[in-house]
């Protein structure tokens, strides 16, 4: 995969949790660039801060130190409303667990980011149905999350992440809760959509085989060791 | 419809899928509805009794009273009557003298308020005095005046024997034990000559404003007269009625406060239960203001439904109880034969508005906390 201009840049980012003696430092002085069009896998042992890294890149959390640049602006200092707008328009999330809203059917779950952006109900639902068709769930739109299998739930979550056509897709162990067969199907789907939609994707995974199929693998190391591209 | 309002609606009506949240929401809704219903029914009952008492006051007592500012007697009552007849032809005027006498029937003499009125043609006693002296219509009673006359035996109290023509019901708001006499008879008994101590006025148009009208008509005599309206004449009773209304409103209104606290707990519980959903919604781009609106809408949704149900139920119950006279009262003891209810639309609106305001406050507090929450927290602790 050819390298484009960086879409996300982390400069000297540090992040820890807790106070005083209970403080745990998760990331220290981390630098990372994610290039436009790139499919990047982030790997590393449990508790090393992979999800924290993804939350920071996805503007769900703020760094204690350092800068995060999304596109061409420093997003570390944005207020909550501006960060929410940026998450809605520029970032798609897929989590380890599907995190679909139980009260909404598949169509309404996928339409949610569009509704948050202020799109009209019918237009949003129309786009949601298209996306469900793309992920092979055209006939499951009126089903609620508890009426879908694990693989189907995760595919609905992928469709939801792409609803706003974001340039950046962040996936936190999206196959972690799936069996081997469903995990393979989902990973293939993400790879296929990555190409078709012209996305930049960052996938946190424990699966070395899947990571090997990405354009680049970034191994996150515990604080004190050096994190690096593999 | 905005995403957050759509979600609030789904949380509210789609809760059949999440039974225990649905149950606590239903309990919040029910407690709010019961609070509003109890307040509407109680205040309608109070209004029913109070308006009956006020109607009784207006029907049986003066709407305005003119008394001398100094001394006991009016200096030129005829002139005052003439002015009032000329300026206010629709107002009825009664000349009054009054005092305290001993009244004796078949037993001991008891003190009684004696009132001579120009509209009385024959003596009457009220039911309280009738019971005290054991006398009824057609019987003769002795009335002993505090006034004395000089006789060869020395000063002796003036007294009269009067034949009771009828026994009148006790006037609302007036202590019992009243003897009503024709004016001339009372003047002889109490004063020995023709005097008038007060003028009582009644009108059919607007009793509550009569005193003000009379004050402007008799402005030239303002320094010699004291003019009292219905409010001044029944000050204590009306004040007691107002206080009763306020105290009952606050006491029963506490139910609404408790219902609002219950709603607060419910919204806070939904916020805790939906912690991950809220983090995901924040991840999808729902900002803090929209999250706050979501929870205020949820609480207000429960508030609107509860208040509407309570107001409709309370109004219906009060109207049905009043129309069917479903709660009878013993005759002769109360002035009405069934518990009266009067539904005041303004009161219903006030109670509904109060319930909505309390719901808004109860939803705002947890909504504020939700909006401040760090979105990553909900995902980190999952």
Our CA-based measurement puts residue B308 at a distance from the nearest CA of chain A, in whole angstroms, of 25
Q: Assess if residue A181 is contained within a domain.
A: yes
Task: Enumerate the β-bridge partners of residue B67.
Answer: B226
**Mean pLDDT along residues B91-110:** 90
What pLDDT does residue B15 have? 52
Tell whether the model's pLDDT for residue B70 goes beyond 80.
Answer: yes
Confidence of residue B34 (pLDDT cuts 50, 70, 90): very high
* Closest chain A residue to the Cα of B4, Cα to Cα: A116
Assign B306 a pLDDT band (cuts: 50, 70, 90): very high
Reported as a pLDDT band with limits 50, 70 and 90, residue A129 is very high
Q: Is B2 on the interface with A (CB under 8 A)?
A: yes
Q: What is the mean pLDDT of residues B355-373?
A: 89
Total of domains in chain A: 1
User: Could you give the ipTM of this predicted complex?
Assistant: 0.88
Strand, helix or coil at A94? strand
Beta strands in chain A (DSSP E): 6-17, 24-35, 39-43, 65-70, 73-74, 91-94, 168-172, 200-204, 216-219, 228-229
In a domain, A163, yes or no: yes
Instruction: Read off the pLDDT of residues B229-238 as tens digits, 9 standing for 90 and up.
Output: 999 998 888 8
Give chain B's length.
382
Residue with tokens 């008509």: B217
Do β-strands A65-70 and A39-43 pair in parallel, antiparallel, or remain unpaired?
unpaired
Chain-chain contact of A113 with B282 (C-beta, under 8 angstroms): no
- Report yes or no on A1 lying in a domain: no
Domain extent at residue A192 = 6-16+26-229
User: Is A115 an 8 Å CB contact of chain B?
Assistant: yes
Whichever domain contains A96, its CATH number is 3.40.50.300
Q: What is the pLDDT of residues B126-154, one digit of tens each?
A: 999 998 898 889 999 999 999 988 888 88
Q: How far apart are CA A165 and CA A158, in angstroms?
A: 12
Mean pLDDT of chain B: 88
- Looking at residues A189-205, what average pLDDT do you find? 87
Q: Could you tell me the pLDDT band of residue A176, with boundaries at 50, 70 and 90?
A: confident
> Is the pLDDT reported for residue B9 higher than 90?
no
Do A84 and B285 count as a contact with CB atoms less than 8 A apart?
Answer: yes
B309-336 residue pLDDT tens: 999 999 999 999 999 988 888 876 676 7
Q: What is the mean pLDDT of residues B333-348?
A: 86
* pLDDT value of position A54: 92
In a domain, A53, yes or no: yes
Question: Is A40 part of any domain?
Answer: yes
Give the pLDDT of residue B20. 65
Alpha-carbon gap: A153 to the closest alpha carbon of chain B (Å): 15
- Residue B37, judged by CB atoms within 10 A of its CB (0-12, 13-18, 19+), counts as buried
User: How much is the pLDDT for B274?
Assistant: 83
The answer to whether residue B273 neighbours chain A at the CB level (below 8 Å) is no
């Amino acid at each position: 995969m050819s390298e484009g201009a960086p879409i996300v840049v982390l400069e000297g980012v540090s992040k820890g949790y807790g106070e005083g003696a209970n403080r745990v430092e998760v990331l220290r002085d981390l630098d990372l660039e994610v290039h436009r069009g790139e499919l990047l896998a982030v790997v590393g042992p449990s508790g090393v801060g992979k999800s924290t890294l993804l939350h920071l890149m996805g503007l769900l959390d703020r760094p204690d130190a350092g800068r995060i640049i999304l596109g061409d602006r420093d997003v570390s200092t944005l207020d909550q409303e501006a960060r929410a707008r940026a998450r809605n328009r520029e970032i798609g999330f897929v989590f380890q667990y599907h995190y679909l809203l139980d009260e909404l059917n598949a169509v309404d779950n996928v339409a949610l980011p569009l509704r948050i952006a202020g799109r009209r109900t019918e237009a949003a639902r129309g786009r949601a149905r298209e996306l469900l068709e793309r992920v092979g769930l055209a006939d499951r739109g009126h089903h609620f999350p508890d009426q879908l299998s694990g693989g189907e739930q995760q595919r609905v979550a992928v469709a939801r992440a792409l609803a706003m056509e974001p340039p950046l897709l962040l996936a936190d162990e999206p196959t972690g809760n799936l069996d081997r067969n469903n995990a393979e199907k989902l990973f293939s789907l993400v790879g296929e959509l990555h190409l078709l939609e012209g996305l930049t994707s960052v996938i946190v995974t424990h699966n070395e085989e899947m990571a090997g199929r990405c354009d680049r693998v970034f191994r996150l190391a515990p604080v004190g060791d050096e994190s690096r591209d593999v | 419809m905005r995403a957050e309002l759509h979600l609030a609606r789904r949380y509210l009506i789609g809760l059949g899928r999440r039974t225990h949240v649905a149950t606590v929401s239903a309990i919040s809704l029910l407690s709010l509805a019961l609070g509003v219903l109890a307040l509407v029914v109680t205040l309608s009952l109070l209004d029913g009794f109070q308006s009956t008492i006020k109607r009784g006051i207006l029907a049986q007592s003066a709407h305005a009273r003119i008394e001398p500012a100094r001394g006991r007697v009016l200096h030129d009552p005829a002139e005052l009557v003439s002015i009032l007849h000329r300026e206010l032809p629709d107002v009825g005027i009664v000349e009054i003298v009054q005092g305290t006498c001993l009244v004796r029937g078949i037993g001991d003499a008891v003190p009684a308020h004696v009132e001579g009125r120009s509209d009385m043609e024959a003596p009457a006693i009220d039911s309280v005095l009738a019971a005290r002296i054991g006398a009824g219509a057609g019987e003769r009673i002795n009335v002993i005046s505090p006034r004395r006359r000089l006789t060869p035996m020395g000063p002796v109290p003036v007294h009269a024997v009067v034949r009771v023509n009828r026994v009148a019901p006790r006037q609302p708001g007036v202590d019992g034990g009243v003897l009503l006499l024709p004016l001339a008879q009372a003047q002889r008994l109490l004063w020995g000559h023709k005097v008038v101590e007060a003028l009582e006025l009644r009108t059919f148009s607007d009793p509550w404003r009569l005193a003000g009208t009379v004050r402007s008509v008799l402005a030239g005599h303002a320094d010699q007269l004291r003019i009292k309206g219905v409010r001044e004449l029944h000050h204590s009773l009306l004040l007691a009625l107002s206080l009763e209304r306020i105290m009952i409103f606050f006491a029963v209104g506490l139910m609404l406060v408790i219902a609002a606290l219950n709603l607060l707990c419910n919204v806070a519980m939904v916020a805790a239960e939906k912690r991950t959903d809220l983090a995901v919604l924040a991840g999808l781009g729902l900002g803090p203001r929209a999250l706050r609106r979501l929870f205020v809408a949820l609480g207000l949704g429960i508030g609107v439904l509860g208040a509407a149900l309570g107001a409709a139920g309370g109004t219906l119950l009060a109207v049905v109880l009043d129309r069917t006279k479903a709660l009878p009262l013993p005759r002769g003891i109360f002035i009405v034969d069934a518990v009266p209810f009067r539904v005041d639309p303004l009161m219903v609106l006030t109670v509904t508005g109060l319930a909505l305001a309390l719901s808004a406050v109860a939803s705002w507090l947890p909504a504020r906390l939700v909006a401040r929450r760090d979105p990553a927290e909900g995902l980190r602790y999952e």
